[in-house]
Structure 1
Amino acid sequence: MAAARVSRCGLCLLLAAVLCAVHYAGAVEIYAPNELFAENGTYVKLPCTFKSTEVTGSTTSVTWMFTEEGASTAGVVIFYYINGKKYPGQEPRFKDRVTWVGDINNRDVSIKLDKITFKDNGTYSCNVLNPPDIMSTPKQIKLRVVEKDNLPASNVPFLVGIICAVIGGILVIAIIVFAVVIIKKEEGLERNYTGSGCGDGGQTESLMSPVKQPPSRSPSGTEALVTGAPSGTMQGPVIYAQLDHSGKPGSQINKSETVVYADIRKNC
């Protein structure tokens, strides 16, 4: 009885430890496309990424498996990654055709399949474990190998057209807004100029105000004579000279005659 009780207690403790481990262990979220198309005779990249709360390390493992279309078996391992090393699968048909193109530090676990043929049609599953995140659901990719003419049309031209249309619309709106701002600015300047010439104290009034004259000064003697003379014909100042007609030498003057030397007239 005692041994049975000890065994039961040990079983309970083990169950409790397992439940605690499951409770604290997180789940790895895996992302990959549901379907891919590839041209026969070329290569295809099988993209797969994951999200985990734990830091990746040597215990992080990646498993890629392949299941033929319509097959009932679980599939075969075609690639395996652990402890930073890559291991090819044992399936002869995939030998030297699978290449690792991922980056475990960036949560990328993608692979590339070269020289694909129609026999590669099927389902490729990607599974990641990142302890203690040990719970995950493999992501499946349906690969369809077709001829070049049967490849689905790419959405890239359509997306490029949408992007160009959006950029063009933004440019048109920016040009319209810029033109409106310029027009409003010109109208404001015109109103300010027109308003400054109206009313008291405006620019027009200041331009029409009388110009200040310099202070008057007293006229000189000649100016006083000119300004004080009556209007009409005015005779200018007369200069007189004495002429000697005796023909005698010397400085004595016997006969003098008044001669008008200059007669300046001005018509007012």
Structure 2
Amino acid sequence: METKWSNMSCRRVLLTGFTLCIVLVTTPCSGIDIHADSEVLIQNGTAGTLRCSFRSNEVVSSTTSVTWTFQSNQPDNLFYKTPYTVFYYSNGRGFPGHDVFKGRVQFIGDINKRDASLQLSPAQFSDNGTFFCDVKNPPDVTGTPARTELRVVLKESLPQNNMAVIVGAVCGALFLLVLIAVAACVVMRVMHSRHEYEGCTSLESVSSQAPKPRKKVEVNLESSRGPNPPGPVQGPVIYAQLDHSGSRSSFHKMEPVVYADIRKN
């Protein structure tokens, strides 16, 4: 009996754990994720954008709200100790917060696209500090506000545009490729001409060495003719066509003509 009871208890525990796992996996989380730029640089006296976006499992509705707060990093500033609300958005309408930011903040986001960005214009040195973006999309109301460190600087302190450097680097790379291609063509042409020159010299050497075996043959012929007794030697017989009548229709006769082979003794 005890063994059967223990087996039933194990099965119940396993079934309960499996059910809990399924419930935890299938039940959507009621939290909301908020993201913003960690740092933003704005030139003094110009407009800047504080970007903020969020992700939620619930459908965006009129109850979705956005709250922007600010805390200064300057000890003598009014907003140094605690954050103050600078802008509030709900039901499709925006409400500026403290008088310091009235007329200088504008909601440029789109709630339906999950964008809660804010524009600050014109930026002032007193705006140096931390801006917090908090979004509520009921029932997704639990989430950590995103924070952005704003630095209002002079124009000389802004990072320079690297477009000129990039263009120069690309042009330099293209010029280097063209130079390499031209150098390769010149090297190939020089090697080709050198190959032709070596071929000509080899042919000339062969032609200059060709008559040597002929001299050997003549020496052999003279040596072979040495023992023969002196006397008139009949030369080669050459047949020539002689025209006796002088007319075109005359019969051409082949007569032998003997040339004497005159050699020095």
TM-score (norm 1): 0.50
Report the equivalent of 1:31: 36
Q: 2:181 aligns with which of 178, 183, 196?
A: 178
Deviation at 1:30, TM superposition (A): 0.8
Q: In structure 2, give the amino acid aligned to 1:127.
A: D
2:118 aligned to 111, 136, 140, which one?
111
Correspondence for 2:190: 187
Paired positions, count: 189
What's the offset of the Cα at 1:113?
Answer: 2.3
1:141 aligns with 2:144: no
Q: What secondary structure sits across from 2:158 in the alignment?
A: coil
Residue type of the partner of 2:170? I
Residue 174 of structure 1, CA deviation: 0.8
Taking the TM superposition and a 5 Å limit, the aligned residue runs for 1:11-26 are: 24-25=29-30
1:91 is matched with which residue?
A: 98
CA distance in 2, matches of 1:138, 1:86: 20
Question: CA offsets, 1:139-189, max 9 Å, x none?
Answer: 33344556xxx55522224x2454244224312421232123212331354
Secondary structure of the 1:187 match is helix
The C-alpha deviation readout for 1:7-50, integer Å capped at 9, x for no partner, is xxxxxxxxx9x9779873565141224354442xx343232133
The aligned counterpart of 1:50 is 53
Helix, strand or coil: the match of 2:33? Answer: strand
Q: 1:22 to 1:162 in 2, by over 3 A?
A: farther
RMSD over aligned Cα, in angstroms?
4.7
Name the structure 2 match of 1:63: 67
Cα distance change, pair 164–98 in 1 and its aligned pair in 2 (3 A): same
1:73 corresponds to which residue?
82
Can you give the 5+ residue segments of structure 1 that lack an aligned partner in the other structure? 1-15, 206-217, 229-268
For 2:157, what is the secondary structure of its paired residue? coil
Q: Give structure 2 stretches of 5+ with no counterpart.
A: 1-20, 208-240, 256-265
1:163 has 2:158 as partner: no
Aligned pairs (5 A) from 1:216-231: 221=246
Contact kept? 2:58, 2:139, Cα under 8 Å: no
Distance 1:181 1:60 in 2: 67
Identity %: 26
Name the CA distance, whole Å, in 2 between partners of 1:23 and 1:81: 24
The answer to which structure has the higher helix fraction is: 2
- Kept in 2, the 8 Å contact 1:77–1:90? The answer is yes
Tell me: CA distance 1:196–1:167, structure 2 relative to 1, closer, same or farther (3 Å).
Answer: same
Taking the aligned partners of 1:176 and 1:144, their CA distance within structure 2 comes to 46
Alpha-carbon distance in 2 for matches of 1:79, 1:117: 21
Change (3 A) 1:222 1:153: farther
CA contact (8 A) 1:65 1:75 kept: yes
- One-letter identity of the residue aligned with 2:29: Y
Q: 1:199 Cα deviation (Å)? A: 6.3
Quick check: 1:45–1:110 contact (8 Å CA) kept in 2? no
